[in-house]
């Protein structure tokens, strides 16, 4: 009857997905990510040509593959960043189950490609490293457990996440892949700290890490060799660290010039683990500082946005993703300048690698989705209201 008198109420559709995404996403972080990918293509033009020549391939074979996988990574990032936190969590649960099973079957079906660590599945046309995909989805699932544990009558989320973390770290250490294991442990520790873990437990966890490192040093020649190499005062100039150190020194402030660097002809991993050495030699300290500022901008802006978030799950998951993203970049560059022991770890969006690029795209897509602006009272307003 009301509709007969006054007419039907018009149905207003929701805001279209793309305009809403563009209005709420962190455009500075998005721009920095796209710039990092462009820098990776630029450095790949220099760093991967010698490798292609040694393998009898076309000069830009690896650059073309990096552009292809990077394009897939950007698509994955955009699509993931448009999801709601609930959909991100559901996607992460499925991804965690698949990645965990893939990691468990690595000793049986995986390969080491002659590098001494069984970390990959060979697909013929490409390879897949399950640990790269496991990192972001582990962070989301662990944050879900930790947030659920804070609720009244909630499950023992801290215990569940701890057991999950220890299991994954042990599986990675058996490969051995101590770098990825340390990233998993670090991300979980940061989320545990942000979630309000007692300081005594954090100190105890640090003690366990030291004990685990001592055990690994005494039982793994692979681990001990890298620690001994890091502690040795003299650097062998014929090793990868020696070549990288010399390249960074030769680059100076402005570099030796585009295409004029020589380290790419000596370093087997110039296009992956030591690509920052190529950047330092050809473009100098200026390029290194630009890359550092891009990573710092993404991490800092993510933390600033997460400080205003009142949902515990979003705060914890976003903090873990931002921390693991920034620390991986720090480890890669720290190894190149010999501030950290040698560790095979890519520089996110800059180094060559299909698994690293696509998994990185999914990870930052989740981070962008969690840091999108949402209508809510800021956490500071809630705390002040409770104080009254």
Tell me which of 137 and 15 has the higher pLDDT: 137
For the entire predicted model, the pTM comes to 0.88
Task: Name, in order, each residue with C-beta under 8 angstroms of 135's C-beta and a sequence gap of 6 or more.
Answer: 180, 183, 184, 187, 324, 359, 363
CA distance 5 to 282: 76
Domain assignment of residue 12, yes or no:
no
CA distance 126 to 107: 19
Tokens describing residue 361: 């795209």
Domain assignment of residue 126, yes or no:
yes
Predicted confidence (pLDDT) per residue in 170-224, tens digit: 999 888 888 899 899 999 999 998 888 777 777 887 787 788 778 877 777 767 7
Q: pLDDT at position 171, please?
A: 92
CA distance 291 to 142: 30
Residue with tokens 């991100």: 88
Tokens describing residue 165: 């973390």
Question: Within a 10 A sphere around the Cβ of 206, how many other Cβ atoms?
Answer: 11
The SS3 call for residue 111 is strand
Domain assignment of residue 9, yes or no:
no
- 135 within 8 A of 360, measured Cβ to Cβ: no
CA distance 78 to 349: 15
CA distance 302 to 184: 19
Domain assignment of residue 380, yes or no:
no
* Structural domain count, the chain: 1
Predicted confidence (pLDDT) per residue in 303-343, tens digit: 999 998 889 999 999 999 999 999 999 999 988 888 887 77
Q: Domain containing 120: what range?
A: 21-372
């Amino acid at each position: 009857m009301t509709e007969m008198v006054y007419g039907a109420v018009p149905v207003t559709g929701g805001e279209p997905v793309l305009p809403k995404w563009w209005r709420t996403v962190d455009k500075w972080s998005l721009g920095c990510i796209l710039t990092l990918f462009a820098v990776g293509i630029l450095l790949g033009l220099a760093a991967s040509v010698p490798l292609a020549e040694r393998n009898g391939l076309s000069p830009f074979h690896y650059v073309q593959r990096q552009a292809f996988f990077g394009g897939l990574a950007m698509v994955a990032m955009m699509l993931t960043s448009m999801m709601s936190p609930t959909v991100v969590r559901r996607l992460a649960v499925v991804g965690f189950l698949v990645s965990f099973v893939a990691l468990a079957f690595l000793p049986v079906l995986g390969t080491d490609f002659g590098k001494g660590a069984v970390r990959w599945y060979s697909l013929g046309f490409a390879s897949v490293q399950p640990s790269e995909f496991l990192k972001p989805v582990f962070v989301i699932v662990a944050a879900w457990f930790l947030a659920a544990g804070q609720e009244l009558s909630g499950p023992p989320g801290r215990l569940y996440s701890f057991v999950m973390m220890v299991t994954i770290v042990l599986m990675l250490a058996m490969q051995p892949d101590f770098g990825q294991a340390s990233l998993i442990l670090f991300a979980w520790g940061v989320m545990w700290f942000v979630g309000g873990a007692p300081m005594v437990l954090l100190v105890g966890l640090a003690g366990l890490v030291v004990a685990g490192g001592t055990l690994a040093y005494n039982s793994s020649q692979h681990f001990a060799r890298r620690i001994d190499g890091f502690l040795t005062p003299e650097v062998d100039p014929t090793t990868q660290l020696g070549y990288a150190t010399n390249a960074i020194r030769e680059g100076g402030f402005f570099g030796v010039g585009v295409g004029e660097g020589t380290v790419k002809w000596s370093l087997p991993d110039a296009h992956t683990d030591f690509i920052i050495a190529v950047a330092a030699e050809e473009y100098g300290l200026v390029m290194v500082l630009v890359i550092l500022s891009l990573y710092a901008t993404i991490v800092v802006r993510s933390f600033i946005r997460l400080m205003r978030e009142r949902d515990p799950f979003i705060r914890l998951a976003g903090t873990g993703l931002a921390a693991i993203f920034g620390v991986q970049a720090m480890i890669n560059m720290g190894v190149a300048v010999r501030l950290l022991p040698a560790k095979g770890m890519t520089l996110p969006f800059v180094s060559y690698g299909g698994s690293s690029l696509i998994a990185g795209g999914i990870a930052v897509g989740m981070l962008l989705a969690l840091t999108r602006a949402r209508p809510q009272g800021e956490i500071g307003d809630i705390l002040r209201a409770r104080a009254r």
